[in-house]
Amino acid sequence: MASNFNPYPNPSPIPPTPHHPKPQTHFSQSPQTLPTDPDPKLVITGGAKLSGHVSISGSKNSALPILAATLCCSGTSKLKNVHNLSDTRTMTSVLGYLGAEIEFSDNEVVVKTDGVGSVEPDPTRMGKFRGGFFVIGPLLARFGEAVVGLPGGCDIGARPVDIYISGLRALGAVVEVRDNKVVAQTANGKRLAGGRFRLDYPSVGATETLMMAACLAEGKTLLSNVAREPEIIDLARFLTKSGAHMEGVGTDKIVIYGKSRLLGAEYGIMPDRIETGSFMLAAAITRSRISLSPVFPGCKLCGTRVLASDLRGGMSIVLAGLAAEGVTEVNGVSHIDRGYENLENKLRLLGADVKRFEFSKSNLQQ
């Protein structure tokens, strides 16, 4: 599915600007100011119009939990349209460390899990990589135990794992945290048991982890106040194709009927809606016309619940929300507050509809 995006179909003429000599840009070559192992850099000369076609990659935020979900499945899973990024490569290395056979080429990943012989991922990788924590649900559900390091860079106050732990306990797991690891096992060596669990807030990661765990639990599980993002639906489609049975995906309640076994399947990861939105914004701010494909059905700038994980990225999310249709809820505003003073007031002075909501413990318990 292709999408043509032209934010200015009938642009008004832009008056010519006076000519000024173009300033020269100089980049310091001083060895004293350069790090010993510098990251790559981009040098951008602005002012160019954009045109042409962009092929949108598969969603990283879908690929990571679906790669973890292959651990739920016996046999072989073949995933297509996998974004070739450091995070996806690290996730495949996590699976390989556990004993899975991995083939990764041309944006396709083949995972064979019958050789998995460990329930503890490499702590070195886990210490640097938040996405690896997804494996706790599949490992616990299929093998009866899991020992998984706390997510890399995890600030327990801002990115709690308590909601994961509480959810797994609701499915009959015995879980404790020791030595910066979450140690979980099923009671008496049996399978997880279906149960009821209401998330304190609709965490995407916790929803996905509990979905994977419940697919192999014995009996029926009801998860409420769950996340409803398209990536949740994508994970559910993969699990369903592998033999899982669930209802209500895309709503705030999911019912999962556990199976004793899932079998690997072939599945295509959904297009990355964040990458799609980024290129749409690129066209908008440069007054350009481009085409994009494939795109997630109905993909456009639409308001949703999002998390600002850093200062500049958070500000980009706010700007996208100003251009989106509907209401955007930006969480993690403390990151933005580090660099922008009275942001919402300044935007309101320009005519934006922006409101700040402060939360206390009493608010969160209601």
**Residue 314 contacts residue 332 (beta carbons within 8 Å):** yes
Query: DSSP of 23-91, one letter per residue?
Result: PPP-----TTTS-SSPPP-------PPP-SEEEPPBPHHHHHHHHHHGGGEESEEEEES---SHHHHHH
**Helix or strand holding residue 112 (H, E):** strand 108-112
Q: Tokens 């009866």 appear where?
A: 144
Q: Tokens 């015995």 appear where?
A: 174
CA distance 293 to 271: 8
Which residues, other chains included, contact 196 with Cβ-Cβ below 8 Å and sequence gap of 6+?
A: 170, 221, 222, 224
Helix, strand, coil percent content, the chain, rounded in steps of 5: 35, 20, 45
Token digits of residue 110: 């083949």
Question: 48 — phi, psi (to 5°)?
Answer: -85, 140
Which residues, other chains included, contact 157 with Cβ-Cβ below 8 Å and sequence gap of 6+?
A: none
302 is catalytic: no
Catalytic residue, chosen from 72, 154, 299, 302, is 154
CA distance 324 to 274: 13
**Catalytic positions, please?**
154
